[in-house]
Structure 1
């Protein structure tokens, strides 16, 4: 099957995101509000995670094993990442839009975050871990990277208790569209 990568990027640039349903049918979705991971002083994390960071048990990489991160994100009992969406992520990766932000412990992939970068927007699609704290360290290090690279926002799409621990907050669609427009005007690079 052929995919129009420009049309897919445009869908994300309009504030939509792709998800597969329980039958693996892929559709575009929108939301009345989005969840942002703060890139300012509101970002926080548990003190126990600071100890892990201080121990430097993990190294960080970008796109060292993109496909393994996608597979890790899809490997759960209920997933919105269908085989078709995995192919689309691969094409977005090859086109310079999809990235995996990874933590490693030696030669073992510890965890990672899968995201789409369009301008100054980082749109987090999913995250996973294989080694405890792997995805949490990835989150902290990714926020540091996004700050350094002057990204406008880190869109985590939907709120959950895990993200709340990092200071995640909701943005109504009207505000999201304003920030998205600002982000699209900025040329940021994750790498």
Structure 2
């Protein structure tokens, strides 16, 4: 099956409401998933706690966009349990080269400390995975990803599943029919991941965009 996987097939799968996974880093098999309950964020809809807002205001980090995509995916896969095998990593790399996969990177003193990546298709963004090597680094990446989605006109931020971590940030579950309706609406709309030209906008600008769009 995996020999038939192509970047185009992945895009068609996402457009149909399904996504690929593997049982582990070294497992060559890939299977398709279409859960009955789907995790999503509203756009806007990220909850920023007081502690996270404080960390954002300190700006002791740098935000970059799509400068180290392979490194972000590798970091996401570098854990005891992962669904990202080598073939999927290569396919996401091909989607990034084609402009359909993107990442937000959090750097500190030229060290990659956190990030998130996903697939963009019209006004839908399918969040795939994130990682953190320092406290709140993945949360910082989500803040700047959400800001970019707001600015770019995205209407669907798919998280696939819900975890306590994502729920604490504002993600919630919807039924498959509700998800499919939202997906159809998002696929019918244009969006631009690069409309926001500044990789690291100020916290004031981030909060203002969120308020104006909500």
TM range (shorter): over 0.9
1:88-99 paired onto structure 2 within 5 Å: 88-99=91-102
Matched residue, 2:68: 65
Q: Which residue of 2 aligns with 1:8?
A: 10
| C-alpha distance in structure 2 between counterparts of 1:70 and 1:148, whole Å | 24
Moved over 6 A (4+): none
Superposition RMSD in Å: 1.3
Q: How far did 1:2 drift?
A: 6.6
Q: Helix, strand or coil: the match of 2:79?
A: coil
Alignment TM-score, normalising by the size of structure 2? 0.85
Q: Equivalents in 2 of 1:182, 1:65: separation in Å?
A: 31
Aligned length: 190
Contact 1:37 1:169 in 2 (8 A): yes
Post-superposition CA distance 1:61-113 (Å, at most 9, x none): 11110010000100110100001111111111111111111111131112110
Q: Given the two structures, how large is their TM-score scaled by the length of structure 1?
A: 0.94
Counterparts of 1:69 and 1:61, CA distance in 2: 11
- For residue 75 of structure 2, give the secondary structure of its aligned residue in structure 1: helix
Structure 1 residues 95 and 3: alpha-carbon distance in aligned structure 2, compared to 1, 3 A threshold: farther
Match runs of 1:82-161 below 5 Å: 82-161=85-164
In structure 2, C-alpha distance between the alignment counterparts of 1:85 and 1:123, rounded to whole Å:
15
* Contact 1:104/1:111, CA 8 A, preserved across alignment: yes
Tell me the secondary structure at the aligned position of residue 127 of structure 2.
Answer: strand
**SS where residue 116 of structure 1 aligns?**
strand
Tell me the CA shift for residue 6 of structure 1.
1.8
Aligned with 1:20 (options 2, 22, 33): 22
Given that 1:120 and 1:152 are in contact with CA atoms closer than 8 Å, whether structure 2 keeps it comes out as yes
Deviation at 1:164?
1.0
Conserved in 2, the CA contact under 8 Å of 1:45 and 1:165?
Answer: no
For 1:95 and 1:149, the matched residues in 2 are separated by 18
1:38-74 superposed Cα distances (whole Å, 9 cap, x missing partner): 223x431221111100101122111110010000100
Structure 1 equivalent of residue 200 of structure 2: none
- Residues in 1 aligned to 2:19 and 2:193: alpha-carbon distance in whole angstroms: 20
For the residues of structure 1 that align with 2:4 and 2:64, how far apart are their CA atoms? Answer: 30
2:187 matched residue in structure 1: 184
- State whether residues 103 and 111 of structure 1, in contact with CA within 8 Å, keep that contact through their aligned partners in structure 2: yes
Tell me which of 55, 58, 83 is aligned to 2:58: 55
